[in-house]
Amino acid sequence: MTNIVATDEPQDRRQWIRVEGARTNNLHDVSVRVPKHRITVFTGISGSGKSSLAFGTIATEAQRLVSDTYPLFVRNRLPHGRPADVDRLDGLMFTTIVDQRPFTGNARSTLGTASDIAPLLRLLFSRIGSPTAGFSPAYSFNDPGGMCLRCEGLGVVDDVDLDLLLDRTRSLREGAIRFPTFAPGTYRWKRMVHSGLVDPDQPLAVLPAADLDTLLCAEGLRLAAPDPQYPKAGRFDGVIPRLRATYLRRNPSRLTDEEKAALDRVVTRSTCPECEGTRLNASVRASLIDGRSIADWTVTPISELRQIVSALQIPSVGPLVQTIRERLGAMESVGLGYLSLDRTSNTLSGGEAQRVKIVRHLGSALSDVCYVFDEPSVGLHPHDVHRLLTLLTLLRDAHNTVLVVEHHPAVIAAADHIIDLGPGAGADGGRVQFEGTPAELSATHTATGRMLHTRIRVNDHPRTAGGVVTIKHATVHNLHDITVDVPLRVFSAVSGVAGSGKSTLMASELPRQHPGFTVIGQMPLHGGIRSTPVTVLDIAESVREAFSSATGLHPSWFSANARGACPVCKGKGIVITDLAFLDDVRTTCEACGGSRFNPTALAIGLHGQTIAQALSMNAAQATDLFSGHPEITRRLAWLGKVGLGYLTIGQSLDTLSGGERQRLLLARQLSTTESDHQQIVLDEPTAGLHGNDVDDLLTLLDQLVDSGATVIAIEHNQRVIAHADHVIDIGPGAGNDGGRVIYQGPPAGLIASPYSLTGRHLRDIVT
């Protein structure tokens, strides 16, 4: 339980955030002082406890205390974080977390709306657009006055292909409508069969065209003579309106695999012919500033749009133009100048989303705020990191406190204060290894200190390729008709600034033209208290069956989500007490001691070990226990290969760091693609990894290549690029300025390339 104690030193409280006895997750009674109005970077290998200290302790407790100032009714509607396990905290501030979670907006949320730039553009066009379309809401595709009515402001239209939906040789009763919710026996099928509109026993091909059209397209029809089985209340909607209302006008939160497959088969999507994808109606598109509409502005890359806005010289809207220019400049300064404002927000990567959030905070009039960042350099090329540092400095200089969890050497070097945790990960971490300046850290022999003062070696003995595949005439997005050879059975790195076209080329075009490649992307690894490494690796059922074979009990007895669950905590291991308007109280379940299982499941086991004891083992220990089950041991081995051998196989995912989740996802993907001569594309596999962890990952990738695999890494990390056998550098810039092959060959040649930004930065850090 947190104990907030008033200090006797007011001056100390103004200068420091004090943490005493922090035990969140793997922290071992950590006590530190974090300077206010400075940039403090938390470092250490992945899983060492950085996030547990910065986010799980300082940020979470600060936000919880701010929530306590609201009335109980309001507090119950705010996010509820777990109370930090710490003896004392003092000097906390109003805190904002800027994390890497992607935007969850739907198709109506764009970069323009997410960055709050779109409302400013609408206001500008409502003032000086000619001819005017009305007040600022009229320029919004989310407003009935501005949206294209044909596509309802989405820019695309979805149509049902009747030839694929209907089997006209069958009758309604035989299942002529080939969609799961209209299958024989379903509720929708009964409404169609008993509507009385057509003969349900006649093939659709022989039905009168007018009757069939009514069956398919009617909306809100009051039926004249339905069968007695037809519901007495309600009007009739045909097949097409029902499909559109249920699946096309909204995105259902849950779809069965059968429904997804059916939608992919019968629904076609195309650009709206009325608005040509702009989402806006004709009157809005006709309103122009210097010959351009608001639709023209939003499809223009931000770097170009800033120049267009800067050219406006209209005194009446001068302050508004200045604000727009500053916002666009801030977006460009964090390396997002290649994006356009019409980009759907949920297609942005986690790193891109985080940088948008940074920009939103820059113009704030608040001061004395604590900003906590989760690896803001993720997704940034070294050429763009200095721009990020400028923004962090601006936040600090506005009399704010900036806390950053980070691995990037340039970000660490720019800090005012460093707190390094370790020495290892998991139970071997959670201790403060160093506090001080970046220069002092680089002189130490901690894992981070060694990373900072050890220069990177370039691979001067690259492997010889075992053949090539060719990507031919790639023109997707910003690619400029690229044709490039990709070597096989070697380790290749694909580099270039953010937005240059790396992922489009290798994660999209390569597998499209050569389907043998498997892409392991940046998809987030979701999961909470009930998800564990065992479930992620898809061996939970195999574990239960192993216990079932040894004991004679049904496998469900060894699941904390089924018959084996503790009846008190329902298999969670904790009891959550709902105190209505107060925060929930979480306590370890006394009935099962936090094991999650009931007495029957815990009474017998495998080789003398209960299911709870098995799930508390690490990968090596569990491998010994399940030695007679090769599918289990094969997948568990990948935990050790990706550097997660210290995790217990039943540990909840909500206790893992971002880097640990990234490697667990990698272990899952590699364990399912394991085969001779496999061909793998990794999209930024080092996200969230410390330099030491990157070296371990490179060792694993070398082993894969030596066994015959082809490995391609889309990367910014200079350790990875220097280590590769072959480098393909895309650029020279982002967006329209990218999409070209700048260099291809061994990494030593990249350093000498006069046109490569990647080579220029690599040259500065290698031996």
Instruction: Note the pLDDT tens digit of each residue in 407-440.
Output: 999 999 999 999 999 999 888 999 999 999 999 9
Q: Report DSSP state, residue 648.
A: B
Domains for the chain: give ranges and CATH numbers: 10-101+349-453 (3.40.50.300), 111-155+275-346 (1.20.1580.10), 157-271 (1.10.8.280), 468-522+684-763 (3.40.50.300), 533-660 (1.20.1580.10)
735: left (phi over 0), alpha (psi -120 to 50) or beta: left
Banded model confidence at residue 2, pLDDT cuts 50, 70, 90? very low
Q: Which of 164-178, 214-228, 521-535 has the lowest mean pLDDT?
A: 521-535
pLDDT at 674 over 70: no
Q: Which of 296-300, 378-382, 441-445 has the lowest mean pLDDT?
A: 378-382
Q: What value does the mean pLDDT take over residues 466-487? A: 94
Q: Which of 414-423, 638-647, 661-670 has the lowest mean pLDDT?
A: 661-670
Banded model confidence at residue 528, pLDDT cuts 50, 70, 90? low
Q: pLDDT for 558-595, tens place per residue? A: 998 889 999 998 888 887 765 544 455 677 888 898 89
User: What pLDDT, on the 0 to 100 scale, is given for residue 666?
Assistant: 85
User: What pLDDT, on the 0 to 100 scale, is given for residue 231?
Assistant: 76
Alpha-carbon distance of 554 to 391, in angstroms, equals 58
Inter-CA distances, 115 with 302, 352, 362, 484, 703, Å: 12, 11, 11, 36, 43
pLDDT at 11 over 80: no
727: left (phi over 0), alpha (psi -120 to 50) or beta: beta
- With tokens 């691979």, the residue in question is 459
Q: pLDDT for 621-630, tens place per residue? A: 999 999 989 9
Q: pLDDT for 143-195, tens place per residue? A: 999 999 998 898 988 888 899 999 999 999 999 999 999 999 998 899 899 99
Banded model confidence at residue 499, pLDDT cuts 50, 70, 90? confident
Q: Closest Cα partner for 238 from 297, 279, 180, 198?
A: 198
Share of the chain above pLDDT 70, in %: 93
Q: Report DSSP state, residue 426.
A: G
User: What pLDDT, on the 0 to 100 scale, is given for residue 246?
Assistant: 84
Cβ pair 49, 430 in contact under 8 A: yes
pLDDT at 361 over 90: no
pLDDT at 24 over 50: yes
Q: Closest Cα partner for 281 from 159, 106, 142?
A: 142
Q: pLDDT for 79-108, tens place per residue? A: 666 678 899 999 999 999 887 776 766 778
CA 628 from centre of chain: 37
Q: Which of 476-485, 520-529, 741-750 has the lowest mean pLDDT?
A: 520-529
Question: What predicted TM-score, i.e. pTM, was given to this entire model?
Answer: 0.79
Inter-CA distances, 155 with 148, 159, 176, 430, 527, Å: 8, 13, 32, 50, 33
Contacts of 192 (CB under 8 A, 6+ apart): 172, 177, 182, 200, 215, 239
Banded model confidence at residue 290, pLDDT cuts 50, 70, 90? very high
- Determine the 3-state secondary structure of 421 from DSSP: strand
Count the Cβ atoms, other than its own, within 10 Å of residue 88.
15
Q: Which of 124-128, 250-254, 417-421, 574-578 has the lowest mean pLDDT?
A: 250-254
> Which pairs count as long-range contacts for 631-634, CB under 8 Å and 24+ apart, including other chains?
631/539, 631/542, 632/539, 632/542, 632/543, 632/546, 634/671, 634/674
Structure tokens at 582: 């107060």
Cβ pair 168, 205 in contact under 8 A: yes
Contacts of 16 (CB under 8 A, 6+ apart): 33, 34, 35, 36, 91
Q: Closest Cα partner for 433 from 453, 418, 411?
A: 418
User: What pLDDT, on the 0 to 100 scale, is given for residue 5?
Assistant: 47
Cβ pair 501, 738 in contact under 8 A: yes
Q: Which of 45-49, 118-122, 466-470 has the lowest mean pLDDT?
A: 45-49
**Mean pLDDT, the chain, whole residue set:** 88
φ, ψ of residue 649 in degrees (nearest 5):
-70, -10
Share of the chain above pLDDT 90, in %: 58
- 647-666 per-residue burial string, b: 16 or more CB within 10 A, e: under 16: bbbbbbbebbbbbbbbbbbb
pLDDT at 472 over 50: yes
- Determine the 3-state secondary structure of 710 from DSSP: strand
Which sign, positive or negative, has the C-alpha torsion 422, 424, 425, 430? Answer: negative
Alpha-carbon distance of 376 to 392, in angstroms, equals 10
Alpha-carbon distance of 229 to 191, in angstroms, equals 9
User: What pLDDT, on the 0 to 100 scale, is given for residue 578?
Assistant: 58
**DSSP-assigned beta bridge partners for residue 629:** none
- With tokens 């690796």, the residue in question is 537
- DSSP string of 137-153, one letter each residue: GGG-TTSTTTB-TTTTT
User: What pLDDT, on the 0 to 100 scale, is given for residue 222?
Assistant: 87
φ, ψ of residue 408 in degrees (nearest 5):
-70, 125
Q: H helices of 553-628, where?
A: 599-603, 611-615, 619-625
Cβ pair 698, 457 in contact under 8 A: no
**DSSP-assigned beta bridge partners for residue 292:** 289
User: What pLDDT, on the 0 to 100 scale, is given for residue 494?
Assistant: 97
pLDDT at 757 over 60: yes
User: What pLDDT, on the 0 to 100 scale, is given for residue 1?
Assistant: 42
Alpha-carbon distance of 43 to 692, in angstroms, equals 12
Count the Cβ atoms, other than its own, within 10 Å of residue 341.
23
Alpha-carbon distance of 70 to 52, in angstroms, equals 26
φ, ψ of residue 693 in degrees (nearest 5):
-65, -35
